[in-house]
Amino acid sequence: MKSKQELRSAYRQLRKSLQPTVVEAKSRSIHDQFLNWLKDKSHLQHFHLFFPIDRFNEVNTFYIKDSLDKLDKTLYTSQVNRGDTELDTLKLPKDAAFFSDEWGIPVPQESILVSPNKIEVVFVPLLAYDHSGNRVGFGKGFYDSYLGKLKPEVIKIGLSFYPPEETIQPEAHDVPLDYCITPEKVFTF
């Protein structure tokens, strides 16, 4: 079994090798898989999104954002708070405009700092995941801490260009995913 650090390094390299056109095509396929997953879940109204850091070739979640906007869902994102220790929850206005912060993270120009207590679905950034929903993130622990503060019934969805690893050894603070959406299918854990 590979360590989290080995997986982190391997998947960063895999992503780095992707051409922008491939990232966009796979992101659109992930978007389509998500919309198919969402079809019989119209009761879900409050969605938390992460937005892609281009230099890391992350899944382009703006496709998902645009579709959720059209479905009149309430959207949220997060931003590292001033103490650089936790994520704050931001409610997005419809048709929010974005700019890149100093780390290259798309940040809404306008947003409202809110409590995360209404969130029903969280899209979780990751580098790798396994057949049990364990994931490897970027190693800062922001999302595990954030997920630990949400209601237990919040649906946690990873997005990945790749299939799952066989096994990832979780740590005590890790919060597993409920689903992971790839360009080919939706994995349920």
Annotated binding site for substrate: 58
Annotated binding site: 4-8, 58, 135-143
Which is nearest to 128 in space by CA: 187, 68, 65?
Answer: 187
Q: Angle CA(119)–CA(170)–CA(174) in degrees, nearest 5?
A: 25
What SS3 class is residue 49? coil
Q: Residue 53 CB: number of other CB atoms within 10 A?
A: 16
Whole-angstrom Cα distance, residue 15 to residue 58?
A: 8
Place of tokens 């992930």: 30
What SS3 class is residue 133? coil
Annotated binding site for ATP: 4-8, 135-143
Whole-angstrom Cα distance, residue 119 to residue 63?
A: 20
